[in-house]
Structure 1
Amino acid sequence: MEKTVEIERSIIKKYKKPIWHRFIGGCKDYRLVNAGDRIAVCISGGKDSFLLAKCMQQLQKHSDVPFELEFLCMDPGYRPENRAMIERNAALMGVPLHIFETDIFDTVVNIEQSPCYLCARMRRGHLYKNARALGCNKIALGHHFDDVIETTLMSMLWGAEVKTMMPKLHSTNYPGMELIRPLYLVRETDILAWKRYNGLTFLQCACRFTEQEADEGMHGARSETKALIAALRKTNPQADVNIFRSMHHVNLNMALGWTQDGQLRSFLDGYETQRTAAGGGPENE
């Protein structure tokens, strides 16, 4: 109990500005938590999801907006020692877990094409299903600021598409359910600092595919993108912030094409009409 209080106090006091204020800011800016919500905080066992759990507990404690929390953990086939670590950390930090089991790791371990994508989709479906069974209308995931900008760059460099990780999304397969990301504005470096300050050890990605990559010295697209952003920040300290802000300031007048509601649009649509409306005068750029 004493350690739990220390961990909670560190969020509100020592890391008030880089973690607590940014967490509160994200919840307010993107309207993530509303009165009457019953939110399933999804615990993967890593530092991000456990910090999210503690932030959500503190928000519930101090907020004037009444909402309820559940803490949901999916065991997709963890090794016994990894499952035990999650349970120890939950007890240490005062997070009451609902743990359910699946065979996702066994399902995707031999998939050659995009196993991580398939795993993520299957995890999401199981989380929605079990959250709804607990009477929840939202699931909260622990993605942070760095995840957002890395995903944005990855979509451009690997996916040939300008797309970001949204702070909240309506579920397409589970009507009435919504996904929220309350750590949207919190930086990973500050989460790591909070972890070290409290002497905590968390589960890293424990899937068999990731373990195989590490054994073989392979590097995925996300780790390469992370390294690219770190290199950019050496010459432009605002590079990551500018990537983030650019997704809030998309100039469709200067975009070659865009997709909305599944329909592809082009700047050529209505281009001649625009020239007529402008009077056919010289360009003003």
Structure 2
Amino acid sequence: MRTREQILNHMIYQRFQKALTEYAMLSDGDRILIGLSGGKDSLCLLEMLGRRQRIIKPRIEVEAIHVRMENIKYESDTSYLEAFAEKHGVRLHIVTTSFDDTKKTDKPACFLCSWHRRKALFRFAQDTGFNKIALGHHMDDIIHTAMLNQFYQESFSTMPVVMQMEKMPLTIIRPLCLLIEKDIKEYAELCGYKKQVKLCPYEKASNRTDMKRMFEEIEKINPEARYSVWHALEKEGKLKKLETVSL
């Protein structure tokens, strides 16, 4: 009889594979860079893509990058990340960046930290010849973003599962998009994924936290709600996008 870990591993990999196929995320010869934060989602993504790169067709090459922020004490155990990546046959790059937190600005520290991490990620990808960046967002992240945009930005949109950058030769893919967060969380616990050393000091309850809690209540009323939202996003073409980004 299979263990719960084996059952979840099979289910997660099947949904991961389905996302790759359904949204045409891979092409032969792709060089894919994983954004590895050190959280459960990015660790799961690395494990799945590490497994996928052993398949011959389409042939892909996978590496990962962990971006450290010098002046924000948000840390993961890099020795653990290196061992984890090596276990799954993925080369890991560790890059350090920072931003000037003494300048007066109306942008919160969270925004600046995220923007500079993304800048370092995109530049590294371009400088080292990757054509795709894989991020660990799952279905819950995408749905919560759609709710945030609708309630706070007057826009029916979300983070696309495939996003072609207009001003740089990069495509963002989110191969965990058909996975539910609770399944990844359970799998991470069963596998013994190591948690981050320190969480960000700016981390606190936010509008996203409110959306998560609200959606949990919606699902109690209608367990099929996530699929209704997902199909609405698909129908309106919100899951694939051409994006202009300046760095």
Q: TM-score, normalised by structure 2?
A: 0.84
**Equivalent of residue 44 in structure 1, options 27, 30, 37:** 37
Corresponding residue of 2:188: 195
**Equivalent of residue 222 in structure 1, options 190, 208, 211:** 208
**Equivalent of residue 61 in structure 1, options 44, 50, 54:** 54
Partners of 1:86 and 1:202 within 8 A in 2: no
CA distance in 2, matches of 1:31, 1:56: 15
Corresponding residue of 2:148: 154
Partners of 2:138 and 2:181 within 8 A in 1: yes
Once the two structures are TM-superposed, the CA of residue 208 in structure 1 deviates from its matched residue by 3.0
1:124-163 alignment, distance < 5 Å: 124-163=118-157
AA in 2 matched with 1:37: D
Closer/same/farther in 2, CA of residues 52 and 109 from structure 1, 3 Å limit: farther
**Equivalent of residue 80 in structure 2, options 85, 88, 91:** 88
| Greater RCO (CA < 8 Å, at least 6 residues apart) | 2
AA in 1 matched with 2:127: A
**Equivalent of residue 70 in structure 1, options 63, 66, 85:** 63
Deviations 1:216-271 (A, max 9, x none): xxx201000000000011111111221111111239xxxxxxxx999xxxxxxxxx
Deviations 1:13-48 (A, max 9, x none): 422453111100111111111101111111011111
1:162-177 alignment, distance < 5 Å: 162-173=156-167, 175-177=168-170
**SS of match in other structure, 2:33:** strand
CA distance in 1, matches of 2:228, 2:222: 10
User: How many residues in Structure 1 have an aligned counterpart in Structure 2?
Assistant: 232
Q: Does 1:31 align with 2:17?
A: no
Closer/same/farther in 2, CA of residues 51 and 19 from structure 1, 3 Å limit: same
Once the two structures are TM-superposed, the CA of residue 121 in structure 1 deviates from its matched residue by 2.7
**SS of match in other structure, 1:15:** helix
**Equivalent of residue 102 in structure 1, options 88, 91, 97:** 97
Once the two structures are TM-superposed, the CA of residue 200 in structure 1 deviates from its matched residue by 2.1
Deviations 1:144-177 (A, max 9, x none): 111000000110011111112101112244x211
Corresponding residue of 1:238: 224
Aligned-CA RMSD value: 2.6
Q: Which runs of 5+ in 2 are unaligned?
A: none
Q: Does 1:123 align with 2:117?
A: yes
Partners of 1:73 and 1:99 within 8 A in 2: yes
Q: Which runs of 5+ in 1 are unaligned?
A: 1-9, 214-218, 252-259, 263-285
Q: Does 1:181 align with 2:167?
A: no
CA distance in 2, matches of 1:57, 1:108: 40
Greater alpha carbon shift after TM alignment, 31-40 vs 110-119 = 110-119
Deviations 1:90-133 (A, max 9, x none): 314524310010014x5499755444334333222210101122
Bigger helix fraction: 1
